[in-house]
Every structure is written in structure tokens, then in C-alpha cells.
């Protein structure tokens, strides 16, 4: 029986790592770093490999780390992961029914492809591992490499379960606003995800340039609508649980209509398994819904993502990080007991937050999760706000005295 990754335990393959040669430092990333990392760390100035001057110590260390990771990944095959790939839950049901378990591809194994890691292309690093660029099947990809389990804060089995969960969730997804999982390996200790490459994260666009101007309102609304579309696709089956700018990836980030995709599903839960989560407080505190702080609540639903979405929208409007200089205990008390929410008056007074948008944000932040709007409803309401704002910004007809 195959795992969601398309690999059986014990399967091997041929993934090659590059320790030499040149590589351009594209500004792409897979996203979703840990401990507040953007997941799209800039390299700056190229990799130092094959350049005219001496490579910097950082570039040398990065290339060495990538080469070491490549050596660890040697002798692995990575069959592609597609929505047609059978999943464990699906296979269990099919086993009980007695039907064939070959899936949409008639039981054929996917052809393994070679993975080539590119030195000097680290895009993000956290406690769990890092994201580097690579080549897979002739295309440039983002490769999420998991650190050695001995350096990870939890037991290796817990790490493997988290990683398998991300593969299980992403392997089911095929949507324009969800980052695509291309391949994966779940054979300890060589754990990696191969994902489509994106240019940068929303977090880096918002906070990567000190003193930068606020994002135009129409662009804020466009990105918000795209995020809401991705959530609307996910929510019938999946709760993301960590919606934040670092987990929203962009292509053409400085254009008026960037491509927007949700990423990092390590904390996600399938709706069929959400009844009893062992980690109700999982997520990033500043974006966590009130129910996420309550240890007595062991059911976290898609409405928690709606609350987090409201915080992301506020962050785009204000250009500020939410709840700065507030520790987790204070924040938990303020949000759950005192019912505090992020300030909106200054945004509304400055014309950044039309009245209808303010009402929508307040609905996203309702204390009772059942009163928050659905993601599909957010798409419709935000489109109306965008249409209204465009009409206000457009000059009226010029009148001439006859």
C-alpha cells in the first residue's frame, strides 16, 4: 500500500545533489519557515559560486550545507505526487470495499525523476530545516529539507507524522491559490518536499523594505480575495491553522495583480480528522483565534482560519505587524478575556479602510466562531468593496457649460 507521497516505506530512488557548478540566485521560495522565519530568506549578491571575486563566508557555508544535504538525499527516487495519487484514508476505504486500489492511473507507478539541489540558493531556514532551490524533471523547484531529527525539538516520530500530514493535505490539493506539491520523500531520515517555486512571500513584501509606502488599497483587496479563494477551496476538507503573511506566496509581487498561493500545511488537519486535535494552540500567536488559546477546546474548525485571515488583511492595510511588543500570555488574556481586537479607527480615518471593509473585519474577529463569515462569502464581499473603491477612485464625467 502506498503512502500519500507515492512512496512505500523502504522504497529507494536516485536524487542527486549538486555540490559544484554555478547557480543563479533567483528570489524564489517555497515559504513557511519556522519561528517567525519568512521562508523566503534573500540570498543577496548571488551564491558566490563561479563569481569574479572571493565567495563570502555565508555563501561558502550555504554551499557546504546544500552539498551536505545533497549527500544525505543520494539514492532516493521521488515519484511525482498528483491529486490522482491514492491516499492512505482512500486506500483503507477501498480495501474494505474490495475494489482495486490502483487509483486513476490504473495502478501504474509514476516514473521517478531526478532531483538536483542547487548550491547557494537557501530561501528560508528554521528550527525544522530549510528551503533551497532545485531542479526536478527539468523545472526549477523549491525543496523543503527537514533537519536531522536529533536537532529537532520533538521526537522523530512526531516530526514524521507532521511531515506526512503536510504531504497528505497538499497531495489532495489542486487549485490556483494553493501552492502545488510536486514530489515528496517520507523515508527517514531523508525527508523532503518538492514544491512549485514562487518569488517571495507576502510577509517579505510587507516588511522587507524599511520605510516603504503602504500597499495600494486595490492591491490589498486583490491579494485578500485570492487568499479567500484559496481558503474557500480548502475549507470543505481542510483546516489550515496557520494563515499568516509568511505562508502566503507571491509571483510578480510588485505588480498590481500578483499571483497568490497559500503554503505551509504542516499544522493543517483534514476536516475528517479535526474532531480531536492534540495541539489546539498550534499556530502563530498574533494570528491565533480566541478558541485557539483555550486548552479546553479540542476542536479547531475552519472558522479559526477566518479570524487569522482578518489579521492578515489588517496587516496589509496598516503595514504594521499585529500585536507588536506583546507576549503570548498577555495577548491570550487580551484576546480571549478582554475581547480586544486590532485597532481600525486610524485606518478608517485615513481612508485605508472603507466602512464596509471595517464591518467585514469585525465579522472575521467575532468571538463566537459560528458568527464569522465563510471564505466564499468573504470573496463576494471583498469584490463588492473593491468595486465600490474603484468607483470612488475613478474621476467623474467632465461637465461643459453650453
Catalytic residues: 242
Report which of 236, 332, 319 is spatially closest to residue 286, judged by C-alpha positions: 332
Are the C-beta atoms of 287 and 301 separated by less than 8 Å?
Answer: no
Distance CA 103, CA 91 (A): 9
User: What b/e sequence results for 88-103 when a residue is b if at least 16 CB atoms lie within 10 Å of its CB, and e otherwise?
Assistant: eeebeebeeeeeebeb
Buried b (16+ CB within 10 A) or exposed e, 167-184: bbbbbbbeeebbbbbbbb
Give the number of other Cβ atoms within 10 Å of residue 154's Cβ.
12
User: Residue 259 — φ and ψ, nearest 5°?
Assistant: -80, 135
Asked if 28 and 204 count as a contact pair (C-beta separation under 8 A), the reply is no
Q: Which residues of 200-234 are buried (b: 16+ CB within 10 A; e: fewer)?
A: bbbbbbbbeeeeeeebebebbbbbbbbbbbbbbbb
Give the length of the chain: 402
Q: Mind giving me the DSSP string for 109-176?
A: PPPPB-EEEPTT---EE-SSEEEEEEEETTEEEEEEEEPPGGGSSS-HHHHHHHHHHHHHHHTT---T
Contact criterion met (CB below 8 Å) for 173 and 181: yes
Q: Using DSSP, state whether 310 is helix, strand or coil.
A: helix
Collapsing DSSP to helix, strand or coil, 24 comes out as coil
d(CA 110, CA 74): 19
Amino acid at each position: 500500500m502506498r503512502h500519500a507521497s507515492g512512496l512505500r516505506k523502504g522504497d529507494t530512488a536516485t536524487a542527486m545533489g549538486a555540490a559544484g557548478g554555478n547557480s543563479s540566485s533567483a528570489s524564489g521560495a517555497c515559504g513557511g519557515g519556522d519561528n517567525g522565519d519568512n521562508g523566503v530568506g534573500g540570498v543577496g549578491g548571488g551564491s558566490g559560486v563561479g563569481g569574479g571575486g572571493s565567495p563570502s563566508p555565508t555563501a561558502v557555508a550555504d554551499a557546504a550545507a546544500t552539498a551536505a544535504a545533497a549527500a544525505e538525499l543520494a539514492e532516493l527516487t521521488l515519484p511525482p505526487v498528483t491529486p490522482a495519487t491514492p491516499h492512505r484514508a482512500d486506500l483503507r476505504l477501498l480495501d474494505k470495499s474490495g475494489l482495486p486500489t490502483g487509483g486513476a492511473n490504473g495502478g501504474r507507478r509514476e516514473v521517478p525523476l531526478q532531483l538536483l539541489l542547487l548550491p547557494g540558493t537557501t530561501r528560508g531556514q528554521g528550527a525544522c530545516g530549510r528551503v533551497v532551490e532545485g531542479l526536478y524533471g527539468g523545472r526549477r523547484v523549491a525543496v523543503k529539507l527537514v533537519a536531522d531529527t536529533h536537532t529537532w525539538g520533538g521526537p522523530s516520530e512526531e516530526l514524521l507524522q507532521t511531515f506526512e500530514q503536510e504531504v497528505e493535505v497538499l497531495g489532495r490539493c489542486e487549485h490556483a491559490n494553493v501552492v502545488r506539491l510536486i514530489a515528496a520523500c517520507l523515508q527517514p531520515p531523508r525527508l523532503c518536499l518538492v514544491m512549485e517555486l514562487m518569488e517571495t512571500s507576502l510577509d517579505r513584501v510587507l516588511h522587507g523594505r524599511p520605510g516603504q509606502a503602504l500597499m495600494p488599497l486595490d492591491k490589498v483587496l486583490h491579494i485578500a480575495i485570492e487568499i479567500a479563494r484559496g481558503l474557500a477551496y480548502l475549507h470543505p476538507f481542510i483546516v489550515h491553522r496557520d494563515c499568516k503573511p509568511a505562508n502566503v506566496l507571491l509571483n510578480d509581487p510588485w505588480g498590481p495583480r500578483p499571483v497568490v498561493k497559500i503554503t505551509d500545511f504542516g499544522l493543517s488537519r483534514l476536516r475528517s480528522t479535526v474532531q480531536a486535535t492534540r495541539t489546539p494552540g498550534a499556530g502563530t500567536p498574533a494570528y491565533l483565534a480566541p478558541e485557539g488559546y483555550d486548552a479546553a477546546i479540542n476542536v479547531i474548525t475552519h472558522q479559526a482560519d477566518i479570524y487569522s485571515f482578518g489579521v492578515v488583511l489588517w496587516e496589509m492595510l496598516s503595514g504594521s505587524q499585529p500585536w507588536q511588543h506583546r507576549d503570548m500570555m498577555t495577548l491570550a488574556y487580551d484576546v480571549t478575556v478582554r475581547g480586544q481586537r486590532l485597532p481600525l479607527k486610524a485606518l478608517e480615518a485615513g481612508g485605508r479602510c472603507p466602512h464596509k471593509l471595517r464591518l467585514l473585519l469585525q465579522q472575521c474577529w467575532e468571538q463566537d466562531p459560528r458568527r464569522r463569515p465563510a471564505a466564499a462569502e468573504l470573496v463576494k464581499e471583498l469584490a463588492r468593496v473593491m468595486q465600490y473603491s474603484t468607483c470612488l477612485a475613478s474621476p467623474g464625467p467632465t461637465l461643459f457649460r453650453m
